[in-house]
Amino acid sequence: MSLSSFKTSAKATLTLLTLLAILPLNGHAEREITKLKPTTKMVGETKWVTQALQRYHYLNQSVDDIDFKEFVRTFMERFDGFHMYFLDTDREDFEIRLGLNMPTYLSDGNLYPAYKIFERFQKRSFERIDWVFERLDKPFELTSDKTYEPDRKEAEWPKDKAAADKLWEARLTYEILNEVLSEEASDKKGDGEKESTEEKESVSGGPSKEVLEEAVKTIRRRFERWEKTLGEYESWNVQEIFLTSLTNMFDPHSTFMSVDSLEQFNEQINNSFVGIGAQLQSEDGYCIIKMLLPGGPAKASEELGKDDKIVGVAQGDDEFVDVVDMNLQKIVKLIKGPKNTKVRLEIIPAGADPSDRKIVSLIRDEIKLTANLARAEIIEVPRGDKIVPIGLLDLPSFYGGRGRSSSTSIDIAELIGKLKKSDVKGLILDLRHNGGGLLSEAVKLTGLFIPQGPVVQVKDTTGRIKKHVDRDPKTVWDGPLMVLVSRYSASASEIVAGALQDHGRAIIVGDTSTHGKGTVQAIFQVDQPFVFNFRDAKRSAAKVTIQQFYLPSGRSTQNEGVSSDIVLPSANEYLPIGESDLPKALKWGKIPRLDWESFPDRPEKSARLSEDLVKTLGTASTNRQGSLKEFAYLKDSIDWFRKNREQKSYSLNLEARRAKAANDKKKKDELEDTLKTLAKDKLKATEILLNLALKQGEEPSDLNEYDEDDPDFDIHRREGLRIMAEWIDLRGGASSTVSQNTETKKDI
């Protein structure tokens, strides 16, 4: 976009906006707006990031080419993603005053635009907090027929203060209703006795006086916390947000990392920290669980899930601290703590009504290396009057590196060796929750299943293509092979799944397609000349996208991912979790196909797929999906999930919300009862551990226990086992021997 597009004759408008900007703050004259200033080091970092993007990024484009109006809006949305605090006049002001000169600001390392926008945000927020405090002292109408849409990501900012007041009137009513419903639900879950003997006052079915008062107190505390957080922003916080907004104008995976953020990143890479084992992200004032780390207390509890919202944190048995609108780093510090200490989390489950809360108690632990290693199971799958032993490999990431005794390829080879000794007839590689990792390990892992041949092609910013080839003719497993995938299978997982699919070596089962992240990032630390006279050896860095993946067939995995040969129904299809859902995602592409058939030593004994075999297995799976009770349950739960997710507007009528909450609870109870019934049908399974895990004292888990309070029934895995058992049966590889611990023989 040319800079000339910002030129305008709106001189009168600019003058008016400038006058508005210098008017005195109403309602909080004694509260000071933070005047942030950059350090010399931050100026150097800003210059360096601007140059690094142009020097290293895959797109090979100039910073001057970005849409600076969009950049300004993106930065504003980092603070106000739901468009609640800024006014539309603020956006116009910033686009005119700051957008035009943005290239100069960036090349000079001048953070003036960042700090001016933040100051306005802080001003608007303080004004709104004062308004909220005043409004909370007045009664609320909870019997109207009005509605409120909490998700305002696609909405515009209010045009003026009157429009903003109207919007906030609806939001506060919505918040009051959420807290009232949560308090009432909590009362019902109790013993039916309240600590207070005071009679509850209720008018026309409204909330009791004490419930309403408690709701108001909760919201007031929330905004008091938000007020405090606003004053805690430091210069580097705003700089990091500003520069990440800039890098995200190139693609969603390029980011700027301050010294603190880089240290946290390295902690995660090294997997050596004490906590609950969850990756968190701040979204519009809420702390969201984005991933549960294998082996961590959070995942082990099976009470938390992706996209759950953490709204409260308590140390041990102390009172909860409301963390809505709290700075993410402060939330992380609250959740982290000494090993073997208790932390309690107040959770809004993903997709649930905002008033639906639950408490999860966890014991902090060290997230060890072995918790993120590959694991295996031997599962006995009934098929008619036969039992088919199948090996399942669960791989959470692609790890390894120089000097390490453990790596993905080494560990998987060890586990396959143990599975072969137990005479398994087929292997399932579960990559459903694998977000990627080392490219070299993806190549080596693929090589365990193919004699020789190309695995992936990598194209850099100059157009040069590097081919990564498995040249070892040896294979560790040449029998039937399946890869389970989901929309969360990304990057290196997609390389493995796509390469094995291209070679006709494995059948891909799961969601319609994988995530679609087909790009490579590298970490570049700030060059010393840009931060000269800075004595601290610690430096910030930028993570920059430098390359793009292509499969042996020449197909890019970017955006489109790897398509499954057999698709299973999934709620993931209705979530915006793919690469193509991310702003500025790079485009899909294609390069010439490689001829891997010319590679020698391709033994005929390898279990290879044909179109007829895939069609046969797919038809059988489709028939089961239309007849088995578990798929009826899955369809029912997906439909309910989709219905709740598609609801954009919420009633501001208490009785209507009570009715919805009651219906939701009834439906959830029905689904949970069905799941408990299904989970009783367990397959006999034995866990196989790595030697490293055994040396560190780990013991195989009892996979055959049934816990009625926490039923486990993985429908996708179960269907994958059926598909594999049928493939083995078609090859004549099923055993007629039934385990003594298997009570009945039946098709599953």
The half-sphere exposure of 637 on its side-chain side, counting CA atoms within 13 A, is 19
Q: Please, which pLDDT band fits residue 16 given cuts at 50, 70 and 90?
A: very low
| Encoded tokens for 173 | 């009513």
Phi, psi of 458 (to 5 degrees): -125, 125
What percent of the chain clears pLDDT 70, i.e. is strictly above it? Answer: 86
CA angle (31 as vertex; 26, 34 as ends), nearest 5: 110
Q: Minimal CA–CA distance to 211: which of 179, 235, 188, 175?
A: 179
Q: Does position 519 have pLDDT exceeding 50, yes or no?
A: yes
> Is 309:322 a contact under the CB 8 Å cutoff?
no
- Give the CA dihedral 482, 486, 491, 492, nearest 10 degrees: -30
Cα–Cα distance list, 336 to 259, 271, 289, 290, 340 (Å): 19, 14, 14, 17, 11
Q: Does position 11 have pLDDT exceeding 50, yes or no?
A: no
Q: Please, which pLDDT band fits residue 347 given cuts at 50, 70 and 90?
A: very high
Our measurement of the distance from residue 333's CA atom to the centroid of its chain's CA atoms, rounded to an integer in Å, reads: 20
Phi, psi of 419 (to 5 degrees): -65, -40
Q: Does position 280 have pLDDT exceeding 70, yes or no?
A: yes
> Is 535:528 a contact under the CB 8 Å cutoff?
no
Q: β-strands 286-292, 309-315: how paired? A: antiparallel
In this predicted structure, what is the pLDDT of residue 14? 27
> Is 553:502 a contact under the CB 8 Å cutoff?
yes
Give the integer Cα–Cα distance in Å for 56 and 44: 18
Helix (H) or strand (E) segment spanning residue 41 = helix 40-56
> Is 292:298 a contact under the CB 8 Å cutoff?
yes
Q: Does position 18 have pLDDT exceeding 90, yes or no?
A: no
Q: Please, which pLDDT band fits residue 326 given cuts at 50, 70 and 90?
A: confident
> Is 248:351 a contact under the CB 8 Å cutoff?
no
In this predicted structure, what is the pLDDT of residue 607? 72
In this predicted structure, what is the pLDDT of residue 255? 95
Secondary-structure percent of the chain, ordered helix, strand, coil, rounded to 5: 40, 15, 40
Which amino acid is residue 369, in one-letter code? L
Q: Does position 652 have pLDDT exceeding 70, yes or no?
A: yes
Q: Does position 10 have pLDDT exceeding 70, yes or no?
A: no
Give the integer Cα–Cα distance in Å for 42 and 237: 11
Return the number of other C-beta atoms located less than 10 Å from residue 274's C-beta: 15
In this predicted structure, what is the pLDDT of residue 528? 64
In this predicted structure, what is the pLDDT of residue 22? 29
In this predicted structure, what is the pLDDT of residue 628? 97
Average model confidence (pLDDT) across the chain: 86
Give 179: exposed, middle or buried? Use CB within 10 Å, 0-12, 13-18, 19+.
buried
Q: Minimal CA–CA distance to 452: which of 259, 658, 639, 595?
A: 595
Q: Does position 202 have pLDDT exceeding 70, yes or no?
A: no
Give the integer Cα–Cα distance in Å for 671 and 637: 7
Please write the tens of the pLDDT for every residue from 356-411: 899 999 999 876 556 678 999 999 999 988 999 999 999 998 888 655 567 899 99
In this predicted structure, what is the pLDDT of residue 207? 86
DSSP 3-state of 122: helix
Helices (H), 336-385: none
> Is 232:327 a contact under the CB 8 Å cutoff?
yes
In this predicted structure, what is the pLDDT of residue 371? 66
Q: What is the mean pLDDT of residues 505-529?
A: 91
- Give the CA dihedral 157, 163, 164, 170, nearest 10 degrees: -110
Q: What is the mean pLDDT of residues 522-532?
A: 75
Q: Domain-by-domain residue ranges, the chain?
A: 3-191+203-247, 272-366, 371-748
Q: Does position 534 have pLDDT exceeding 60, yes or no?
A: no
> Is 353:181 a contact under the CB 8 Å cutoff?
yes
> Is 433:295 a contact under the CB 8 Å cutoff?
no
Q: Please, which pLDDT band fits residue 300 given cuts at 50, 70 and 90?
A: confident
Q: What is the mean pLDDT of residues 99-118?
A: 95
CA angle (540 as vertex; 534, 542 as ends), nearest 5: 140
Return the number of other C-beta atoms located less than 10 Å from residue 307's C-beta: 16
Q: Between 25 and 311, where is the model more confident?
A: 311
Helix (H) or strand (E) segment spanning residue 388 = strand 386-394
- Please report where in the chains the tokens 């199948």 appear, as a residue: 390
DSSP 3-state of 617: helix
Please write the tens of the pLDDT for every residue from 590-606: 999 987 665 555 544 56
Give the integer Cα–Cα distance in Å for 183 and 181: 5
Our measurement of the distance from residue 142's CA atom to the centroid of its chain's CA atoms, rounded to an integer in Å, reads: 35
Helix axes 715-730, 611-625, angle to 10 degrees: 140
> Is 524:553 a contact under the CB 8 Å cutoff?
no
DSSP output for 650-704: EEEEHHHHHHHHHHHHHHHHHHHHHHHHHHTSPPPEEEE--HHHHHTT-----TT
Q: Between 742 and 165, where is the model more confident?
A: 165
Q: Does position 114 have pLDDT exceeding 70, yes or no?
A: yes
Give the integer Cα–Cα distance in Å for 278 and 280: 6
Helices (H), 141-160: none
In this predicted structure, what is the pLDDT of residue 365? 87
> Is 126:134 a contact under the CB 8 Å cutoff?
no
The half-sphere exposure of 109 on its side-chain side, counting CA atoms within 13 A, is 17
Q: Minimal CA–CA distance to 703: which of 695, 694, 712, 692?
A: 712
Give the integer Cα–Cα distance in Å for 495 and 469: 12
Size of the chain in residues: 748
Cα–Cα distance list, 96 to 4, 419, 601 (Å): 12, 66, 66
Considering only 23-37, 161-175, 337-351, 437-451, which range has the smallest mean pLDDT?
23-37
Give the integer Cα–Cα distance in Å for 748 and 745: 9
In this predicted structure, what is the pLDDT of residue 4? 34
Q: Domain 371-748 carries which CATH code? A: 3.90.226.10
Give the integer Cα–Cα distance in Å for 44 and 60: 22
Q: Does position 68 have pLDDT exceeding 90, yes or no?
A: yes
Q: Does position 28 have pLDDT exceeding 50, yes or no?
A: no
Give the integer Cα–Cα distance in Å for 485 and 567: 10
Give the integer Cα–Cα distance in Å for 273 and 279: 12
- Return the beta strands (E) in 551-649 as ranges: 566-567
- Please report where in the chains the tokens 């000269």 appear, as a residue: 532
Give the integer Cα–Cα distance in Å for 664 and 687: 37
Which amino acid is residue 134, in one-letter code? E
Give the integer Cα–Cα distance in Å for 165 and 162: 5
In this predicted structure, what is the pLDDT of residue 17? 28
Please write the tens of the pLDDT for every residue from 120-163: 999 999 999 999 999 999 999 999 999 999 999 999 999 999 99
Q: Please, which pLDDT band fits residue 76 given cuts at 50, 70 and 90?
A: very high
Q: What is the mean pLDDT of residues 418-434?
A: 96
Q: Minimal CA–CA distance to 390: which of 677, 684, 629?
A: 684
- DSSP-derived secondary structure letter, 85: S
> Is 666:601 a contact under the CB 8 Å cutoff?
no
Q: Please, which pLDDT band fits residue 1 given cuts at 50, 70 and 90?
A: very low
> Is 380:426 a contact under the CB 8 Å cutoff?
no
Q: What is the mean pLDDT of residues 551-558?
A: 96
SS (H, E, C) 196-233: CCCCCCCCCCCCCHHHHHHHHHHHHHHHHHHHHHHCCC
DSSP 3-state of 718: helix
| Encoded tokens for 42 | 């931050």
Domain at 272-366, CATH homologous superfamily = PDZ domain (2.30.42.10)
